[in-house]
Amino acid sequence: MRALKIYFKSIRINIMSQAQYRGWYFMILQVFLIVILDPISTVLMFSRFGNIGEWSVYKIMLIYSLAVTGYGLAETFARGFDYFPWKMIQSGDFDRLLLRPCPLTLQAACSYFHLHRAARPVSGLMVIFYCLSKLGTVLDTGKILILAGALLGGAITYAGVYVMTSGIAFFTVKALDWIYIVTNASYQVTRCPIDYTPKLLKNAFTFVVPMLVVSYYPASVICGWGEPFWKGVLALPAAVLFFAVSFVMWKTGVKRYRSTGS
Amino acid sequence: MTRSLKAFAAMFKIEFFKGIQYRTAAAVNSVVGLFWGIIEIAVFSAFYLYANDKTAAFFASLTLRQVVTHVWLRQAVIAFHPQNIEEDIRGKINNGDVGVELVRPVPLYLLWFSKTAASRLVLFLFRGTIILFSMFLSGIYKISAPVSVTGFLLFLVSLVSAFFLCAAFGMFVTSLRLAVDWGDGLTYIPLIAANVLSGSYLPLQLWPDFMQKFLLYQPFAGYLDIPLRFYIGSVKAGEALPSLIAQVLWTVFFIAAGNIITAKNVKNIIVQGG
């Protein structure tokens, strides 16, 4: 309970400090722009080439926005871990967290919070519902549960990605750009119709990072594209498993930490 | 002139050695670029090879081979694009060290222009390795040779021009950020617009046909799309010279605007911290 209170207090302080800037609302606008423009090449290509087999722009955008919404939720609520490798280790700021009488993981999670990051999950949700209505899918209780499982699973998976990369950052300190493969680059894979995705990518994003498990499979079950039911409900368990592994890596990293700053 | 060259050479040296120090980081950055390119090509080839409407690929202004080459060249040339204000410079604006920069015997604009340009050039050298790798890929993933010798030479000329255009625009945005109390948002929006309109999301020639005239002459075509058109040989007749001139004119425009805004913001500068 106390932990939750601290989490939300830290978030409040973060929001208030950002609102000090005169142009703070531009940051929200900026993320909205990125989110809207990111899939523009997919939309323009579909408008030029038309459907690919069974694949329409709405199907692709549904899968894509499922992944992006999960990513956005993680980015909103675990921003501290997203920033962690870049902001906390080299500067030695991590020492400060170690001194405080409060759970370490919690402190790291809420050390940063950026309100404008919420623009991504909000617009992602709007696209999901728009695509579902265009595809003529009617949501019943079961389907809503699968959808919620997928979104929650996505959030947990990407939170896991951040926690894992933070853990690994203890060892690598500066060579961090590979992180983009599992963050920003990873959901680009959903832009490719699954039948034409190279096997290697498909397997990596199913069995190593369960990104397609929280996007493509639930979408397929909800809209009835032919994947078996059990693959659609695997989103949450797979995400939790992935997070557990990530958490172990984070703990190992923390144990190995040697301060670099002053 | 000699002073600016000297400043640039010094900055380049500093940035270069900084880059060398973190060569693992640079190598990893290239791996990400390679990965990104492969995903892009997988998506493009799905459209070109499997779209239900077979005539669409035939009527598109670029062939799949040209698009693949565009994707790979982009992975290196994108290093020029200002994605953000230089981290160093942004830090100085935020923590008040900009005061120290103003004391130096080099004009602020020139100093920061050199820094911005130099760090981009170093990144470009590292990311050039992606193009080397893409030569060894097989099938549709392989990059093609330039369309002709003339095409390649014009590509090089246009590439140099793109380098200066990118640095000039990066500095234009940096000069906006000097008004520190506005925060980051205001500077990100022009950077995003530039990225989209540069053709780094989608080659500009695959955008809707009615937009083509606008797309060619807006400032950001010169970032990437114009030089690459020379390489892949998709320049339309009569557009070669005008597009090269447009690149230079936009560069001059952004250098002038950057200087004016820097001068104006320095007058009312807020030095944060001490």
Whether the per-residue pLDDT at A93 is higher than 80: the answer is: no
pLDDT digits (tens, 9 = 90+) for B153-200: 999 999 999 999 999 999 999 988 887 677 777 788 888 899 999 998
**pLDDT value of residue B149:** 94
Q: Which residues from chain B sit within 8 angstroms of residue A33, using beta carbons?
A: 189, 192-193
> What percentage of chain B exceeds 70 in pLDDT?
97
Q: Which residue of A has its CA nearest to B56?
A: A49
Number of domains in chain B: 1
**pLDDT value of residue B173:** 92
Q: Residues B240-249: contacts with CB within 8 Å, 24+ apart?
A: B240/B154, B242/B217, B243/B158, B243/B216, B243/B217, B244/B154, B244/B157, B244/B158, B244/B161, B246/B216, B246/B217, B246/B221, B246/B222, B247/B158, B247/B161, B247/B162, B247/B165, B247/B221, B247/B222, B248/B161
**pLDDT value of residue B242:** 94
**pLDDT value of residue B237:** 80
> Is the Cα torsion angle A223, A225, A229, A234 positive or negative in sign?
negative
Q: Between chains, do A201 and B39 touch, taking CB under 8 Å as contact?
A: yes
pLDDT digits (tens, 9 = 90+) for A210-242: 899 999 999 998 988 888 888 888 999 999 999
Whether the per-residue pLDDT at B274 is higher than 60: the answer is: no
Q: Report whether B91 contacts B167 (CB < 8 A).
A: no
Identify from A41, A61, A174 which residue to disrupt to test chain B contact, counting B C-beta atoms within 10 A and taking the largest count. Answer: A41
The predicted model gives A246-259 an average pLDDT of 87
In this prediction, residue B273 has a pLDDT band, given cuts at 50, 70 and 90, of: low
Q: Which residues from chain A sit within 8 angstroms of residue B184, using beta carbons?
A: 21, 26-27
B42 is a domain residue: yes
Nearest-by-Cβ selection for B184 from A27, A40, A185: A27
The predicted model gives A251-262 an average pLDDT of 78
Tell me if ipTM is over 0.95. no
The predicted model gives B53-62 an average pLDDT of 83
pLDDT digits (tens, 9 = 90+) for B152-165: 999 999 999 999 99
Q: How far apart are CA B194 and CA B173, in angstroms?
A: 11
| Selected residue with higher pLDDT from B117 and B252 | B252
**pLDDT value of residue A19:** 76
Nearest-by-Cβ selection for A26 from B32, B42, B189: B189
Whether the per-residue pLDDT at A175 is higher than 70: the answer is: no
Whether the per-residue pLDDT at B147 is higher than 70: the answer is: yes
Q: Which domain holds residue B249?
A: 2-267
